[in-house]
Amino acid sequence: MTKITVVSYCHEAHRPWIPFWAEQLQKQTFRDFDIVFIAHNWKVDLAQWNKDISCLDDDLWDRVSFYEFESAPVIGEVIDFAASKVETEFMAHHDLDDIIHPQRLQLQHDHLVANPDTDFLGTRMVGFYGEPKPEMLELNYVEPNEPNVDASTHEQIKHCLFDRNENCLGHTTMMYRPGVLKAIGGFSRSDVKLDGKSPDFETWKKAIMAGYKFHRLLELCALWRLDSSSIRHV
């Protein structure tokens, strides 16, 4: 039985990243996942969409569902809509422009099977500009002076979030139960442009305060593209 749905979404300016996103999914060694894609405030051109995801093999192609969703530019609304379309036990974030290690879903799936009491599961993640150094594509790579590199257990994550006021959970690596998200009142409606708060940070804290269990894999499963805010550079 499929356990995971990969959830991705983008606004219109990031549409050129869709082929890259599809390539990242195609490279995953774990294959038993569904895909939910949200076009946020733009209309999908079906012919272009089919071209953009043409690298997917037939099995993955058949697992893709896309939706158009209109709302204010508040990411929590998009995530809650996406979560409402997920029918598997877990949903896995996957930002279009990030580099995802091919073993990411396999490692997380294996942990969840072995630890069914885990509600929220992330991995290590580091940022980069331009092109990543080749060694950054290895699971055991550690960035010089990387903060919270050893944080993995629930208590260590809680210490980072509440005592150090640091977010050690990279958004694109996060996997959690959509039912839990609903139970805590949905994803945070905070926005750094509106209230100066991170919606991720606020959501993780809310879930911990509600008693849900977190874990973070120490493998480096994602590289965060820090220079993609302007899509004209793609």
**% of the chain with per-residue pLDDT over 90:** 91
Q: pLDDT tens digit string along 89-144?
A: 999 999 999 999 999 999 999 999 999 999 999 999 999 999 999 999 999 999 99
DSSP 89: S
Distance from CA of residue 84 to its chain's centroid? 16
pLDDT at 2: 76
Q: pLDDT tens digit string along 33-80?
A: 999 999 999 999 999 999 999 999 999 999 999 999 999 889 999 999
- Do 221 and 125 form a contact (C-beta atoms < 8 A)? yes
* Owner of token pair 């294996």: 110
Question: Amino acid identity of 35?
Answer: I
Q: pLDDT tens digit string along 171-196?
A: 999 999 999 999 999 999 988 777 77
Instruction: Name the band, by pLDDT with cuts 50, 70 and 90, for residue 232.
Output: very low
**Residue 231 pLDDT > 50:** no
Parent domain of 26: 4-233
176-214 in b/e burial notation, b at 16+ Cβ within 10 A? bbbebbeebebbbbbbeeeeeebbbbbbbbbbbeeebbb
CATH of the domain at 148: 3.90.550.10
Instruction: Name the band, by pLDDT with cuts 50, 70 and 90, for residue 146.
Output: very high
Instruction: Name the band, by pLDDT with cuts 50, 70 and 90, for residue 233.
Output: very low
pLDDT at 192: 76
Structural domain count of the chain:
1
